[in-house]
Structure formats: C-alpha cells, structure tokens
Amino acid sequence: MKSRGSEFVVVANRLPVDRVTGGDGVRSWRRSPGGLVSAIAPVMRQRQGTWIGWSGAPDEELEPFEEDGMRLHPVRQSAEELELYYEGFSNATLWPLYHDVIAPPVYDRAMWDAYVRVNQRFADAAAEVAAEGAIVWVQDYQLQLVPAMLRRLRPDLRIGFFLHIPFPPTELFMQLPWRRRILEGLLGADLVGFQLPGAAANFVRLCRQLLDARTVKQDIVLDDRTVRARAFPISVDVGELSDLVARPDVRRRAQEIRDDLGGGTVLLGVDRLDYTKGITQRLQAFGELFSDGSLKPGEAVFAQIATPSRERVEQYQLLRDQIEQQVGRINGEYAELGSPVIHYLHTSYDREELAALYLAADVMVVTPLRDGMNLVAKEYVACREDLHGALMLSEFAGAAPELRRGAFLVNPYDIDGLKETMLAAIRAEPADQARRLRAMRKRVLEHDVERWACDFLEALERPTNQAVDLTA
C-alpha cells in the first residue's frame, strides 16, 4: 500500500478549502482565505501532493476527495477536541505565548491532552498516505508534535516543519509547562523552518538550554542525525495578483470603491480580527488626527476590513466589541451625514475584491503588535504596479526587514509615532512613493511564494550531512 502513497504530503490543521452553500442550496468547496493557503496551494498543484487536514465541521467523517487540483485527506475532529485542541491549546495558549504574550496565555492540562491526541491523529494519517521515502511538510503551531510522532511511525520519511508565526525568546517560552515536549516534537523534523533568523536562533538556543542538545551554528546535532533550523520568509503569489490587477473589472471596482469613499485620501487596513494585528491602536491614532486638527473630515477616510476569526475564543469576542465601540465613538464625533471617517467591515472578501481594495488605497496600514510575516503588506506591494501608494508597516511584522527600505516603519505601540507616520504616508510626494514602491517591489517580485516553497523544499531534500560544518 505504501508504494502507491503520495510522494509529497502537506499536513496542516485545516484543509485548504471551505464548504459553501450556493443560492440553489447545492453545497460545494471553495479555496479558503488566509495566509497558509494562499502560500501553498500553487505548490500542491504542481507536485500533485496530498493535503491532510480538518474539513472545518466538527465530528465529520469524510472520505478523501479531490478539489481544486489537489488530493485532500480529511482528519476528523470532535466538537470537544475543537474546543480543547484548536480554540484551547492552539489559540488560547500557543498563539498568545508566541506573540509576545499580548494576551495572557491559558495553561490547562485538558487542553494539552487534547493537543497530544489530535497531533497523534494527524501523524497517523500522514504515516498512512505517504509513499516510501516521501517528503512530508508539516505546517504551523497547531501541529508541533507531529514531526516526532511521525518519525516514530515512519523513519523512512523526509520531514520538514514550517512555523508561520513567531517563535518566542527563551524568557517567554519557559512559561510553557510542556516546553520540553514541544521542542522534542519539533526535533522529529529534518528541517525546522521559521520566518526570520531570530526565531531560528531562539529555537536553537532553547534546544541547547532545555534539552542539553549539542548545537553547531543553526544545526542541532542529535545522536543519530542532525536537525537544521533555518529562516524562510514566506511571500505571496505575485503572478496571481498581477493578473488580478490587470483585469478591467477589478480596476473598475477599485474606482467605484474610491468614489464611494468620497474624495479624500484612502487609508486601508485588511486583517483577520485578531488582537495581534494592532487594529485598535491604529484606529485610535487615526481618530486623534481629527481631534487635534491635523486632519479635517473629508480629507482622509479609513477603510478597515476585518475577517471574522476564532469567534468562540473569548479574547476575540472582547476585541470585536472593543473595535465596534471605538469605530462608533470616532464616527460619532467626526463623521458628517453620509460620510463616516471610518468604514468598518467585519467580513471576508474574495481575491478580486481584495485586489480592488488594494488598488483603491493610497495608504496601506499594516501595524501588527507582532506578526510572523504579514502577507497583506506584500500583497499590497505586489498589486501596486502603478507605483502609487504608501505602505505603513510595523517594525514587529516579519515583513519589516525585507521591506524596510520602502515602507514607512512604525512602532505600533507608540500612538504619537503612529500619528506622525500616518501623516507622513498621507503626504508623501508621488516621486517618493514611486521610489519606495520600486525598492519594495524588487524584493517581493524576486522572492515570491514559489521561491519560498522551492527554497524550503530544496533545503529539505538536501542531504543533512552537507549542511553541518563541524569546524565552525
């Protein structure tokens, strides 16, 4: 059976599709929004791989199926596991812990037990579908135990792991009661990929300090093999975005959006509704620009698009209420009849509408308090072939080192700094905008998502012993 398995397997919490019900009541699948899917779907199609993940509905037993040119292998999750493993350990423990403890992490043993159980189920599924010697690429913080579990079942496989979110410094990671187990889980991989070199260095340091592992530069040398920790900054599908912005209907839609927003400068925020994204801080700064007279109503307008996310996790419900109140307060004060200063849309859009929004925006505001990479920043850059527009970018986004030459960088905790930078971006001269965008586009166009995936997979397929320089 193994010889007929897949040579390339992706393991991620979610399948890359969502179920939709059409107007005629017919149910079908549609490619999901979100960073991970935008990044890997093109590679999956090229390699005819199998993607293992959860369907999105609790307690659902589904047979493997094909969709969007990909073989999909569903893994079941019960409603209780969803609460403890996904909403619990993944999103109430690991997510805040790995994002600078912006919200307090919950440490709960039942959540941990569910995390172990569900990780084992994913590892079992991968062991079942992978061909002899196959490449298996495990994705993200929900599945950090899978590499070691899978290696135990299938030592013949080449296993890679990529973490899409930041990896915390020692001081924070040490809080985790199961800290050794997570490190040991990751060390089941041959290659552990991070967005930034600093995250890889944090991981290597922790392996040394907590597990007493021998490390040589960014390699962890175990008794029987070497694990490499490396940075692979993720990127966007530049070709797809460039096709979208060339379409006359998308351009027409962009003009329509601008007309609907009135004549002023258009600032845009596009985020999952998440406390790491710094939405309240940026709206506060924007509101204060009106209260201190730096901006007059009509001069600028802010469109904040927030995709509904993790709606059953308490911190997310609180944030949603907070943003709604804040938008109401600012509009209550500065809007004129028929022209709010902030347009807030709590919804998900298709790629066409997103591209039109990017084209309509004079200033793209990306100010996360901490972010692994942030694809929105790179999507904006990729869409602005016209070299018009300014990107305001948090120093704490993983994209900052790559885009620092062209972005208006800002510390998102500093409200005065946000205000000054916002004004500078609003007032940037066309020649300055063009110069900055040219620098950023050079980077993004040369390092798109295809290159990211190729770099990772090439490194994964390279024999490990070549990478270790014991003389260093």
DSSP 134: E
- Piece in contact with ligand ADQ (CB under 6 A), picked from 49-57, 70-78, 373-381, 400-408: 373-381
DSSP 406: T
Terminal CA-CA length for the chain: 44
Question: What is the edge-to-edge ordering of all strands in the sheet holding 50-54?
Answer: 65-67, 70-74, 50-54, 6-14, 130-139, 158-162, 191-194, 226-231, 219-221, 214-216
Position 165 contacts ligand ADQ (CB under 6 A): yes
- Piece in contact with ligand ADQ (CB under 6 A), picked from 23-31, 224-232, 282-290, 374-382: 374-382
The residue annotated as part of the active site, out of 237, 362, 371, 448, is 371
Structure tokens of 352?
A: 């066409």
Q: For 108-213, where are the alpha helices, taking DSSP H only?
A: 109-129, 146-153, 170-173, 179-186, 197-211
Phi, psi of 2 (to 5 degrees): -60, -35
Site string for ligand ADQ, 286-315 (x = CB under 6 A): -------------------x-x--------
Query: What is the nearest approach in angstroms of ligand ADQ to the Cβ of residue 270?
Result: 5
Which of 107, 349, 432, 435 lies at the binding interface for ligand ADQ (CB under 6 A)? 349
- Piece in contact with ligand ADQ (CB under 6 A), picked from 27-35, 101-109, 150-158, 246-254: 27-35
Give the C-alpha separation, 345 to 380, whole Å.
19
Residue at 413: amino acid letter: Y
Which of 29, 31, 34, 201 lies at the binding interface for ligand ADQ (CB under 6 A)? 34
Strands 300-307 and 342-345: parallel
Give the C-alpha separation, 158 to 155, whole Å.
8
- How many residues are recorded in the chain? 472
Query: What is the nearest approach in angstroms of ligand ADQ to the Cβ of residue 258?
Result: 18
- Piece in contact with ligand ADQ (CB under 6 A), picked from 65-73, 105-113, 289-297, 371-379: 371-379
Residue at 410: amino acid letter: V
The Cα angle at residue 70 between residues 250 and 305, in degrees rounded to 5 = 35
Among 86, 93, 140, 162, smallest CA distance to 117 is for: 86
Query: What is the nearest approach in angstroms of ligand ADQ to the Cβ of residue 38?
Result: 4
Which of 36, 94, 279, 444 lies at the binding interface for ligand ADQ (CB under 6 A)? 36
Query: What is the nearest approach in angstroms of ligand ADQ to the Cβ of residue 393?
Result: 12
**In terms of CB distance, is 83 or 379 closer to ligand ADQ?**
379
Structure tokens of 215?
A: 């490390």
Give the C-alpha separation, 290 to 300, whole Å.
10
Give the residue closest to ligand ADQ by C-beta.
Answer: 35
Give the C-alpha separation, 457 to 464, whole Å.
13
* 448 catalytic per annotation: no
Residue at 206: amino acid letter: L
Q: What share of the chain is helix, strand, coil (3-state, %, to 5)?
A: 45, 20, 30
Which of 71, 272, 419, 447 lies at the binding interface for ligand ADQ (CB under 6 A)? 272
DSSP 292: T
Q: Which residues ranging from 203 to 242 are in contact with ligand ADQ (CB under 6 A)?
A: 234
The residue annotated as part of the active site, out of 73, 164, 343, 447, is 164
- Piece in contact with ligand ADQ (CB under 6 A), picked from 108-116, 213-221, 372-380, 461-469: 372-380
Q: Which residues ranging from 392 to 431 are in contact with ligand ADQ (CB under 6 A)?
A: 398
* 113 catalytic per annotation: no
Position 33 contacts ligand ADQ (CB under 6 A): yes
Strands 50-54 and 17-21: unpaired
Site string for ligand ADQ, 62-101 (x = CB under 6 A): ----------------------------------------
**In terms of CB distance, is 39 or 220 closer to ligand ADQ?**
39
Give the C-alpha separation, 247 to 257, whole Å.
16
Binding interface with ligand ADQ (CB under 6 A) = 33-36, 38-39, 164-165, 234, 270, 272, 305, 307, 348-349, 354, 371-376, 379, 398
Q: Which residues are catalytic?
A: 164, 371
